[in-house]
């Protein structure tokens, strides 16, 4: 009886610490799934599909624009960006949470701001994201503890991606456009690749093992008449050569995955096992989602209708048990019952 009372108290404390019952017992997918953005319903919505492109389902079903969805480490929550509060444009898009079936939608912050490009810490307790000050046209990467409202400046940059072991955040730096790894503890920075005049390296994405990074890049010389100080715009012919690369996290074995034979390829997302990379590319006048096999180079188109972009993988085989889950609590109850009957 005493053991039962102690376990009941433990479960109650866990529920209080997690804020509500719904996130605690949200059902994570039992098979690999991909989140992505689609405009097929007349506005941008968060969708889910299988890794082969089948069973594409609208999760948000809201008149607002819902974009940039990312899985929590355990797959029990989804973080996404929406303008559903004010619906006045990109600069009003803020962070929201929902359960994997699209239910239980709630804001992350009480104070409104533009906070796109979010990434989870591997323990699921923190997020890093872009914070855009529309009045001053200033943006930087910030970090916050989920459940708290305090925002902490982390670095100047964009496209943050938290490393799986939690010690570094990869991002693209302003100015030189280089992918850098920044220490979460010390703020020390290191480049993945040698410095170039105009890097244009964007959107880093880690493998679940933390040994590889995918990113988009235009690895071509600038047009000879290009003058950055004059404010010249890069021609479309040059921009269309941006494509997808993969590299070891120590900067070795750089590999181009997608040829420069079409429009630019962007928004890469490595599969948890590191075998495939999602990316977005325009085809027949509309953006579609593809995946490429890292070893064979075989490309597969996953979406075919309307406008689609982005992508974030979840695979339960690589999920980290960093928060209390209902099946773990059931297992504990089973062990208690065994002890009581012996």
* pLDDT for position 187: 95
- Give the model confidence (pLDDT) of 176-231 as tens digits: 779 999 999 999 999 999 876 556 899 999 999 999 999 999 988 878 887 767 77
So what's the pLDDT on residue 91?
57
Please tell me the predicted confidence (pLDDT) of residue 88.
52
Q: What is the pLDDT of residues 310-324, one digit of tens each?
A: 999 999 999 865 443
Cα 40 from Cα 19, distance rounded (Å): 35
What pTM was computed for the model?
0.83
Q: How far apart are the first and last CA of the chain?
A: 14
Q: What is the pLDDT, as a whole number, of residue 163? A: 97
Please, what is the Cα angle at 332 between 328 and 336, to 5 degrees?
A: 170
Query: For the chain (length 342 residues), average pLDDT per consecutive 10?
Result: 42 39 68 98 96 98 95 97 72 90 96 93 97 72 96 95 97 85 96 75 95 93 78 80 95 95 93 97 95 97 96 92 40 32 36
Specify whether the CB–CB gap between 182 and 189 falls below 8 A: yes
Q: How many residues does the chain have?
A: 342
How far is Cα 315 from Cα 30, in angstroms, rounded to an integer?
8
């Amino acid at each position: 009886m005493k053991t039962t009372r102690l376990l009941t108290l433990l479960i109650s404390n866990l529920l209080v610490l997690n804020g509500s019952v719904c996130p605690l017992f949200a059902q994570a997918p039992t098979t690999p799934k991909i989140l992505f953005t689609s405009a097929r319903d007349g506005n941008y919505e968060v969708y889910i599909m299988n890794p082969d492109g089948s069973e594409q389902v609208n999760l948000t079903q809201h008149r607002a624009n819902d974009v940039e969805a990312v899985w929590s480490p355990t797959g029990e929550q989804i973080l996404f960006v929406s303008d559903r509060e004010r619906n006045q444009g990109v600069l009003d898009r803020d962070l929201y949470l929902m359960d994997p079936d699209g239910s239980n939608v709630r804001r992350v912050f009480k104070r409104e701001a533009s906070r796109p490009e979010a990434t989870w810490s591997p323990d699921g307790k923190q997020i890093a994201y872009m914070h855009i000050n529309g009045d001053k046209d200033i943006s930087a990467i910030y970090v916050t503890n989920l459940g708290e409202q305090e925002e902490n400046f982390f670095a100047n940059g964009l496209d943050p991606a938290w490393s799986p072991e939690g010690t570094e955040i990869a991002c693209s730096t302003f100015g030189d456009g280089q992918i850098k790894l920044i220490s979460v503890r010390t703020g020390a920075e290191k480049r993945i690749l040698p410095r170039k005049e105009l890097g244009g390296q964007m959107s880093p994405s880690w493998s679940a093992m933390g040994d590889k990074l995918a990113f988009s890049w235009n690895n071509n010389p600038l047009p000879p008449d290009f003058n950055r100080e004059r404010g010249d715009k890069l021609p479309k012919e040059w921009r269309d050569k941006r494509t997808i690369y993969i590299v070891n996290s120590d900067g070795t074995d750089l590999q181009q995955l997608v040829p420069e034979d079409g429009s630019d390829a962007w928004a890469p997302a490595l599969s948890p096992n590191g075998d495939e990379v999602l990316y977005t590319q325009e085809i027949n006048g509309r953006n579609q989602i593809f995946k490429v096999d890292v070893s064979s180079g075989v490309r597969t188109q996953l979406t075919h209708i309307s406008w689609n972009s982005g992508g974030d993988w979840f695979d339960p085989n690589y999920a980290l048990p960093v928060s209390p889950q209902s099946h773990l609590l059931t297992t504990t109850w089973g062990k208690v019952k065994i002890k009581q009957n012996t």
